[in-house]
Amino acid sequence: MQYQRICVLGLGYIGLPTASTFATQGLQVVGVDINPQVINTLRNGGLHIHEPGLRTLVQAALVSGNLTIADRPQPADAFIIAVPTPFLEDKKADMSFVISAAESILPVLQPGNLVMLESTSPPRTTVDLVAPILEHSGLAAGPDFHLAYTPERVLPGQILRELIENARVIGGIDRASAEAGRDLYTIFVRGQIILTDATTAEMVKLMENTYRDVNIAVANEFSRLADRFGVDVWEAIQIANLHPRVKILKPGPGVGGHCIGVDPWFLVEAASDLAQLISAARQVNDSQPEFVEQLVRRALSVGNSSEGLTGKRIALLGLAYKPDVDDLRESPAIELARRLKAAGAEVSAFEPVKPAAQVPGVRTLPGLEETVRVADLIVLLVLHSSFLNLVPAQVAGLTPARLVVDAVNGFDRQTWESAGFRIFCLGNGKNNR
Ligand code: SAJ
């Protein structure tokens, strides 16, 4: 199939890079978003999200005239749905954006069109949810128009490169739909393109992120066990990973972001009787901030006689969900900040990648100096490069705090201790007692 004009619904972390990349490859692309602020920002040359290289790419796409921004779909050869699928309080997928995006295509859907779903979705969404909606047009999915699912698999921070280089799986509701999808993505994808059915492609995506979540959960559980047994989990992991078939991931304050902490729930929701390990892993990762809180209490009890948090001044370094990104969504650091505050501590936080971040319930400050100025204890929560470059002797001059909880094994114990700090590293049972 040949494509000249496409329509991308949802201009977020996936939709905007995808729309811009197609536009710079010469396609006429209409980027659609329902949020007027997003539309205004983009039309005025701004950008509402941060991703390395994205500003240049979007500007090139807009200046070429190939990318235009609209508030509703327009007739096109192909439609790509890249709207969010958040989860609700009860851990069930919120499919309302997918539903309304599919409905918004109805007035312009033509025979021969291709509709691609990219949003991470529970198994069978393409077949059981999206196809019936689109068929309200009077056209039949398969005979009259193509319908396929292709998951995005790009890593935030490296989206532009991975969009092009990663292997891409395209699952059609029939073979012709998968092939139509391949013809579209071949325009810019350099990685292998694998064709399958729609539900397999949905499941592949959920399996990838679930696999990672379960592996992080086991690392986090090891950190708890090591703490109890007087073992340094970081040393133990390093040694275990010398085994040719073992690759343990890193413990930390928990799993954040909009993908790994969310997607496994889609499998739990779809088959709670079967997905028991997956559910347990989620609970381990979700409760990891609580484990860090206990370490904070223990550290404070060393300098004091009680583990109480009331009135304790705690400075948090890092609020992003992972190193060197400005994304604060579902961040375990924020969960910890709220927990400490609820327990009576005076919490201040500094996020160097997004110094002006406003987080409800958390007192954020724009610089390191003001964050640690009156602290009793400092907690390192994100392995940002700028934190790794801190000089402990200089930090000692900025703060009265001499207790540090390192939740990511980022600070070199020797240099920090020789500058007068006492370090409590997550999962280091040799030193945390
Ligand atoms: N984390 C750990 N220990 C580790 C690795 C990660 O605690 O050893 C934590 C991070 O700090 C972060 C969370 O896990 O809080 C998730 O970070 P991540 O880098 O593992 O993944 P994401 O969420 O940024 O991106 C993932 C990727 N999926 C996989 O690697 C299987 C990416 O390829 C997907 O496209 C993305 O989810 C997505 O959008 O689904």
Task: Give the end of a domain, one of 171, 200, 229.
Answer: 200
Give the angle subtended at the CA of 365 by the CAs of 362 and 367, to the nearest 5°: 150
How does residue 15 score in pLDDT terms, banded at 50, 70 and 90? very high
Task: Write out the residue range of the structural domain in which residue 405 sits.
Answer: 287-425
91 catalytic? Reply is: no
Lowest mean pLDDT among 4-13, 49-58, 109-118: 49-58
Q: Would the pLDDT of 162 be above 80?
A: yes
Q: Which CATH number fits the domain that encloses residue 416?
A: 3.40.50.720
| Residue 205: active-site member | yes
Could you tell me if 177 and 42 lie in one domain?
yes
pLDDT digits (tens, 9 = 90+) for 23-52: 999 999 999 999 999 999 999 999 998 889
Q: Is residue 234 in a domain? A: no
Q: What pLDDT does 397 receive? A: 97
Residues 20 and 159 in one domain: yes
Tokens of 423: 């370090």
CA of 167 to the centre of ligand 1 (A): 17
Q: What is the CA radius of gyration of the chain?
A: 24
Same domain as 168, residue 25: yes
How many folded domains does the chain comprise?
A: 2
Average pLDDT of the residues in 147-175: 96
pLDDT above 90: residue 302: no
Any domain includes 71 = yes
185 and 63 housed in the same domain: yes
39 and 164 belong to one structural domain: yes
At which of 177, 200, 223 does a domain end?
200
Which pTM was predicted?
Answer: 0.93
**In which element (H, E) is residue 29 found?**
strand 28-32
Q: Ligand 1 centroid vs 183 CA: distance in angstroms? A: 29
Q: Of 7, 247, 259, 312, which one is the catalytic site residue?
A: 259
Q: How far is the CA of 13 from the centre of ligand 1 (A)?
A: 15
Rounded distance between C-alpha atoms, residue 9 and residue 11, angstroms:
7
Residue 382 belongs to a domain: yes
- Cβ–Cβ under 8 Å, residues 12 and 104: no
Q: Do the domain assignments include residue 241?
A: no
Residue 156 CA to ligand 1 center (angstroms) comes to 8
In a domain, 254, yes or no: no
Same domain, residue pair 318 and 418: yes
Most confidently modeled range among 99-108, 155-164, 255-264: 99-108
- For a ligand 1 pocket test, name from 118, 223, 241, 255 the mutation site with the most ligand atoms within 8 angstroms of its C-beta: 255
Domain-located, residue 216: no
Specify the DSSP element, H or E, that contains 16. helix 15-24
Q: Whose CA is nearest to atom 37 of ligand 1?
A: 259
Listed residues 200, 219, 247: the one ending a domain = 200
